[in-house]
Structure 1
């Protein structure tokens, strides 16, 4: 999916975000290159969700800069976000995808083609005409990912996408994410599930008190974390 007009890498340069009278994200610098799964880990309040929203553009940094690859400014947005609790419109399953495509400026005939491709790709074709809000939790999350996929993103942000799902639905979502990465989509996600992080992550960004204190390949992070806070987190001694 990456080409000469790629929006990646995504770079953060000393990004901070102020709230509640303090820095909730504190001078974070990092680069997200194309490919693989990068997982944000950290205890509750570490700033994981804020980081995703800053990267996606839902929040504006109080300090610092978030920017895409050179020359990407002004190009059609090719990143999408899936939230912990997916937002379902009071419409059918198909209409939820169609609305996202219409908002992105996709022409009507192409919208139908893309919507049906997404429904088929994510196992929702038989649910196409049903109200989206009547789907199970796992189906709603699949729809949210299908909706994002229909926008043809290079980079997909996910905020704890399986935290409210049972083990079977979680396994389905993980399999879908593995398939998306194989298609060339880059994933940046947060999770509170260490098992999931071990299964999916190529790289781990560990946040603590709004600061990025470890940036490591997953295979090294889980075997030999470099900071006291990360070791305590993996041992279960930091409050989530």
Structure 2
């Protein structure tokens, strides 16, 4: 019988792939205040700055050194195993899970390679720069496209689907997350209430590590393959 594995990933799984963990110790995002580049109010106040910020982050995905690491690849391999149904919930807005081969990925905080039309509420794949002058492909109007990113003060995506996935899970795994950003930080509490096995994989134990049954410590490129190998071995025994 297949086991349902729900995996939450955060910035820690992409750090080794050349993706900047763009919030530094001072709370700045690449030298910008969060209020200026990651809120609806900041976008209304200075849209040109916000467009430039996300255009630069989108361009980073095309850099030669930005590639999926063994952590991403191991999760894709786990998804291909006959004994597991794997769903990835990611807080990351990059496309590294997809590039590694994962098919079931929910981007709860949005995606860099997507634009949201404020006129139609339709999403469009976008891998190039865009700004207030860009014409939307769905309505042929300009001025309506915004980065398809969940900003502070906005509701994360797929929350109902995420709840259902966790309710049906046999195992909940958190990889490379701080355990401080809600609602994602609360997923492990929900899993524990349901009696689901929980595992944390991180460079160091998070603030809510006490809620996890198992812990793997180390870089994602080393710890995730180790976890996947143990999971498959236990399944086969």
| Larger RCO of the pair (alpha carbons < 8 Å, separation 6+) | 1
Give TM-score scaled by structure 2 length.
0.33
Give TM-score scaled by structure 1 length.
0.33
